[in-house]
Amino acid sequence: MEAAAAATTSDSPEQLIAQVQDLQARLETVEDSATRELADQLVSAVIQMYGAGLERIVRLLLDAGERGEQIAATLPADELVGMLLLIHDLHPVPLADRVQGALEQVRPYMESHGGNVELLALEDGVARIRLQGSCSDCSASSLTLELAIKQALEEAAPDLEGLEVEGVQPVQVGGLPMASASASASSLELPIVMSPPPVQPAWFELDEVAAELPAGAILAAEVAGSELLIANVDGTLLAYHDSCASCGAVLHDGLLISGALACPQCERTFFLPRAGRSMDDERIQLEPVPLLCEQGRVKVALAL
């Protein structure tokens, strides 16, 4: 069996995790059962040793007063340290608080499209949430769930065992259901399973111009080959595909007044705070794009 490359402190958390998984897989191929068992015992002992040491570090910080507690609270922000804290059940923030915090992170996006998300219960590691308002009947609600809520929960609470969702309408992509959720309560394990998965969602960070966009202004942005419209409506940034749902013309040259955007070609008006619905025909709607603001940075989610 080939010798594994030694991990270094410069390796990213993803590289370290991948190396551990690779070594575990290779260990399973060892024919000598006694050697495999001994190796498993060694790995288990090392994990317990490091877990005990990490527990002492956290305890010393918590016993050091306010400053120590502040330092302990920052540990989960590091991806690798946070993962180790979860493995050893030492995360300083309770699961319920992390789930609620993740939903608070995506709530501005939900509210900007006339909807909301509510945590109904957290039992046995399974969170039950409800999509409300326009988000519950929007054609992009499944996309919202996959791109915004799911990622926020995975980042803040990777130890969450499942997700039960109410108020999700399936969206059709090429005649295939994009998500396995229904308008009634649906039990979904993380990650949310798509059958078959028609798209691969990803987040893309916009440049500083979007973050500094003044209220009442709009701009065009090309992101991963998609033409987007970014608008600042009363201090809230919203993103849509830059195409009129009525005539197909670009919208970034249109007039935005109090959240109402008029197409420069056909003059049809769309109300951006209400998921881009036409103001004279609710059957016509712009295609919204999930957008989140985090610490002065703006990112949008696209299904590629």
The residue ranges of the chain whose pLDDT is under 50 are 1, 3, 139, 170-198
pLDDT at 13: 66
230: DSSP letter: E
E-strand stretches of 28-161: 115-123, 126-133
Q: Where would I find the beta strands (DSSP E) of 71-175?
A: 115-123, 126-133, 162-166, 172-173
pLDDT tens track for 246-289: 999 999 999 999 899 999 999 999 998 877 889 888 789 898 88
pLDDT the model gives residue 302: 82
Predicted pLDDT at 304: 66
What does DSSP assign to residue 156? H
In terms of C-beta distances under 8 Å and separation of at least 24 residues, what long-range contacts does 217-226 make, across chains too? 217/256, 218/251, 218/252, 218/254, 218/256, 218/261, 219/252, 220/250, 220/252, 223/300, 223/302, 224/302, 224/304, 226/302
At 196 the pLDDT is 40
How far apart CA 153 and CA 162 sit, in angstroms, is 10
Structural domains in the chain plus CATH codes: 13-87 (no CATH), 95-198 (3.30.300.130), 202-303 (2.102.10.10)
Residues in the chain, total:
304
How many C-beta neighbours within 10 Å does residue 296 have? 8
- In this prediction, residue 182 carries a pLDDT of 36
pLDDT attached to residue 73: 81
pTM for this entry: 0.53
- Give the model's pLDDT for residue 249: 94
